[in-house]
Amino acid sequence: MTDFQFAAPFRGAVAALKKDLTTEGGQISTVRNYNFAILPYPPEDEFKLREEIANVSAELRDNGWWVAGIPLHALLISRIEAQDARFIETMIAREKRLAGATDPGRGLRDLKEKVANLIEGEDGIAKDVIREVSRILAESDRGPSRTVVFLSRAGALYPFMRTSALLKHLTGQTKNAPVVLLYPGKVDPDGGLSFMGVLPADRDYRPRIYR
């Protein structure tokens, strides 16, 4: 596996993100009408990252911002729970049956296929995120330019889908409010992102990457 390294500690990235939000009226991207950003962090620092985001969220609220979060793991769980009981029972039974197979990866590949069918595409997790962003903006009394949304717990989507696919489906669906994906992974020297530090680096990202 390639040894990816971070260009800078994520605390510096959080500080840069906060500065851009507060000094540029919430514009965190150089691409017009595409107000998305990605903040990578080491997966093992999940709890430290949450603490940093909680601190910056409090500061933003003190400065008149509406701050909201969308935990992606909750959307994933909701989609699985929305299936009938037989779906979950069948997945568990099949996983147990394949656990003793000569190919130890077969069970995981089968599980990935079943879960991916629930969450990929424009009618998958992306649709749920769009719904939640719309709800947040309806509740906010600050307007899209002073409302920031953090997409958290993205690690729950591994290994079922890439976050680059999720962001593609959000384009044009968030009323240009700043949306920040908290990305558990690593950045390679060329700027590619390795989801969870395991998948091959993906360079198919339009948002600004804070690092």
Measured in degrees and rounded to the nearest 5, phi and psi for residue 177 equal -70, 145
Those residues whose C-beta lies under 8 Å from the C-beta of residue 9, and which sit 6 or more positions away, are none
Lookup result for tokens 């600050």 = 142
- By DSSP bridging, strand 179-187 and strand 193-195 are antiparallel
pLDDT tens across 144-187, in order?
989 999 999 999 888 888 788 888 899 889 999 999 999 999 88
**pLDDT value of position 102:** 65
Q: Which of 6-20, 109-123, 149-163 has the lowest mean pLDDT?
A: 6-20
Beta bridge partners of residue 40, listed in sequence order:
183
Does residue 3 carry a pLDDT above 80? Answer: no
pLDDT bracket for residue 118 (50, 70, 90): confident
Question: What does pLDDT average to over the chain?
Answer: 85
Tokens read off for 17: 């993100």
Q: What is the pLDDT of residue 39?
A: 94
Q: What is the topology classification, in CATH, of domain 10-73+122-209?
A: Rossmann fold (3.40.50)
Mind giving me the DSSP string for 63-122?
Answer: TT-EEEEEEHHHHHHHHHHTS-HHHHHHHHHHHHHHHTSSSTTHHHHHHHHHHHHHH-ST
* CA nearest to 131, candidates 73, 83, 173: 173
